[in-house]
Structure 1
Amino acid sequence: MRSKLIGSKEAHENFQFVTINGKVEFEDVERISMIAYYYSKAVKAGINLALRGVSLNEAVKQLYNIIPYAFYAETAYKQALALVENKGSKVEIKRRWIACRGNKNDKGNRGIKFHVLEDHVEVRVKDPWGKWIYGKAYFGKKYLPLLRELEELSKRKEESYGAVISFKQKPTVHLQIPIWLYLNYFSSPKPSGYDLFAGFDLNSDRLNVVIINENDDVVTTKTWWFPDVTRPGFPKEKAKALRLNALSEALEFLSRIGVDYVVFEDLFLVKRRKFIKSKSGNRKISKFAKKQLLIHGVIKSLRLGFNVILVNPKGTTNSEAHDRIMREKGFDRHTASAYLIAMKGLEVIKNNE
């Protein structure tokens, strides 16, 4: 039986696709870089338009003067809207990239297309001022059958894919694969468990998990620590790797003891981060990509065959119920949060029976 995701409309909108990445060797790097320069410039201009509440159609007309390809201009403005929604007026554009949204009627994507060959993937990018620019992308052989099927579905106008070209080090193409297709290739069936629920509390320096049964009884609790990641100067990529590794270890542990439901806070219901008075606390918050960790956790859980429940985070950290759980069960505040998250997941299932 296929695992399922239970959560808000906002959450489901964020889990329609899974991104896979491949390094690209372009025939004309200078031309690609120029397109990226003007695309990023369009996003920057789009932020100002978004802050003024300009409509999509009007914004596309204005951004077309910067990058004269409607599909790039439209994608640029939608990205600008998302940046403003997440960060308000304090948005800085320091990098260059190219993005084009997917569309079934455009045979997958109008501006960035791919074709799977024997050992690599041909990528072509629309030049707004000229013809297509070609490149060779390398994703790894395990992704080629998946990409072949997506290519066929796109040709038949049955599926679409978003695409981004980034330039952090070497040019990289990021393809957004429909999640159902991705799971068809990369998920593994999980034996039936014991109807146990695991609540996760994700933090900058630790991962707390509480497992309960259908009767609200605590089966076990466990914490994965990574305190060094919040030290000043600690490498960002190394911190990310430690957090993701802890999350993977936790999910593998849950699979061994018979958990069926993994429960996370639905961070897509939280529009903005809340900062506190402590400077060190604010540093931890600003550097901790909690939503990124959540996305990894959800995808990994679905791949391992868990059912995933995303619950409203209201009351899981500061509430009378949270204080009561700490007193009654002797939990620290993070373990108490994980317990309340697990309880909310149990309530979701009971209410849907």
Structure 2
Amino acid sequence: MIRNRIICSREALENFQFVTVNGKVIFEDKDKIVRIARAYSQVVKSAIRPLFDGKSVDELTKEFYSILPNYIYLETALKQAKTITDGLLDREKDKILHAKVKRFWFGSRGNKSDKGNRNVKFHVFQDHVEVRVKDPWSKWVHGKAYLGKEYLPLLHELEELAERKEEGYGAVISFKHYPMIHLQVPLWLYLKHFSLPKPVGYGLIAGFDLNSDRLNVVVVNKDGKVIAIKTFWYSDVTRPGFPKGKAMALRLNALSESLNFLSRVGVDYVVFEDLFLVKRRRFTRSKSGNRKVSRFAKKQLLIHGVIKALRLGFNVILVNPKGTTNSEYHDRMMREKGFDRHTASAYLIALKGLGMLNNIK
């Protein structure tokens, strides 16, 4: 059996090319780094309205070069602004002028021909990583990054690949409590260093239904017969005022528990909804329901689940979510099998994954 395979749409595949490795960084001249971030943030904020009105990225690159005189930084900033613009809902069009950029950071995309990254370079030592960041108005700014000793062999190999122009890596410098560096490592390289051995399975398929307060899993065999059903609850996270960081931690823990459970059951394929085919969130008339939707970072949870599953040796399938929540077939499964709506969704997701698997065999 081929392991660590992902079957999904082209839109989704773009989100699973890299894994981010994070660490604290201490710069020799923090003020220069902050200046880059302020200029970067100004470009993002200033570009939102023109992009929404139809201006091209090429036009804006020339227009904002005087603010941030570095094409790679500019390109990355404008891509962020475009993402914000594309994510605005129709009902928010009248608030376009007040769109906020909450995060304070700057990024530089990777490129093989630039020996990994034109603006952010690193060199691995025994207990830390030396970092150099290009200052658009001056020379390089040096710093020391601490990303965890377990990542040093991985980063050392990435450094060698970048030097040979075989791999690129994206880099982000962020500021919250202190400066952080986030290096985007190629997924294949991450799995090479961190994949764990998985027990031989029985060809079973597990469908996941991710929700704000629970995780539903249904396991089926190659004939579509239900083998196991399990729900992992984290209901407290939807309470008003519940810490966002703690809520995500509980959801991620439930995902880890579910994947460990599936490994013991003998599952080989895990199936999630392809959320990258969904262009916007579905809001309801319920204020509490809308609060849950707006606070629930479902795509972030999906990305974590996919990478975790690949690391544990599962094959991953992402299916079109159409019909898995609101459809006649969904209602019929609830009536005939006595499933609640979330279990029925997980069951249909598993069946869709089985269908995709049969089509490519």
> Structure 2 length as normaliser, TM-score?
0.96
Q: Tell me by how many angstroms 1:48 deviates.
A: 2.0
Task: Tell me which moved more, 307-316 or 46-55.
Answer: 46-55
Matched, 1:213 2:211: no
Q: Structure 2 CA distance, aligned partners of 1:240 and 1:317? A: 23
Match of 1:139 in 2: 147
Query: The residue matched to 2:177 in structure 1 has which SS?
Result: coil
1:254-283 C-alpha deviation (Å, 9 max, x unpaired): 000100000000001111111111000000
2:125 and 2:51 map into 1 onto residues whose CA distance is 41
1:299-325, CA deviations, whole angstroms, 9 ceiling, x for partnerless residues? 000000000000000000000010000
Name the aligned partner's letter for residue 8 of structure 1: S
In the other structure, the counterpart of 2:11 is 10
CA distance in 1 between partners of 2:314 and 2:355 (Å): 17
User: Per-residue deviation at 1:337?
Assistant: 0.2
Using the TM superposition, give the Cα deviation of residue 62 of structure 1 relative to its aligned residue in structure 2, in angstroms: 1.1
1:341 aligns with 2:342: no
Q: Which amino acid aligns with 2:341?
A: R
Match of 1:330 in 2: 338
Supply the distance in 1 between the matched residues of 2:288 and 2:211 (Cα, whole angstroms): 14
Shift, 1:70, TM fit: 1.1
- The offset of 1:192, in angstroms, is 2.1
The percentage of aligned residue pairs carrying the same residue is: 68
- Post-superposition offset of 1:251: 0.2
1:42 aligns with 2:43: yes
Deviation at 1:86? 2.2
Q: What corresponds to 2:70 in structure 1?
A: 69
TM-score, normalization: structure 1?
0.98
Give the distance between the partners of 1:158 and 1:262, measured in 2 at CA.
31
The residue identity in structure 1 corresponding to 2:277 is: L
Letter in 1 for 2:53: R
Amino acid at match of 2:33: I
**Rounded Cα–Cα distance in structure 2 between residues aligned with 1:82 and 1:257:** 40
Structure 2 residue aligned with 1:53: 54
Task: Letter of the 2:36 partner, please give it.
Answer: I
Residue 126 (structure 1) shift: 0.8
Runs of at least 5 residues in structure 2 that lack an aligned partner in the other structure: none
1:52 deviates by 2.0
Q: Distance in 2 between matches of 1:129 and 1:119?
A: 31
User: Following the alignment from structure 2 to structure 1, what is the Cα–Cα distance between the partners of residues 102 and 21?
Assistant: 23
1:1-353 equivalence runs, <5 A: 1-88=2-89, 91-353=99-361
* Cα separation, 2, equivalents of 1:326 and 1:19: 39
Helix, strand or coil: the match of 2:222? coil
In structure 2, C-alpha distance between the alignment counterparts of 1:221 and 1:23, rounded to whole Å: 41
Once the two structures are superposed, residues 208-243 of structure 1 have per-residue CA deviations (whole angstroms, 9 ceiling, x without a partner) of 000000111000100011111000000111101110
SS in structure 2 opposite 1:142?
helix
Aligned equivalents of 1:330 and 1:55: distance in 2?
A: 52
Say which is worse superposed, 23-32 or 195-204, in terms of deviation: 23-32
**1:153 is matched by which residue type in structure 2?**
L
Q: Displacement of 1:56 after TM fit?
A: 2.3
Tell me the distance in 2 between the aligned counterparts of 1:124 and 1:53.
Answer: 36
- 2-side partners of 1:2 and 1:145: how far apart? 23
Deviation at 1:125, TM superposition (A): 1.0
Give the drift of 1:348. Answer: 0.4
RMSD: 1.0
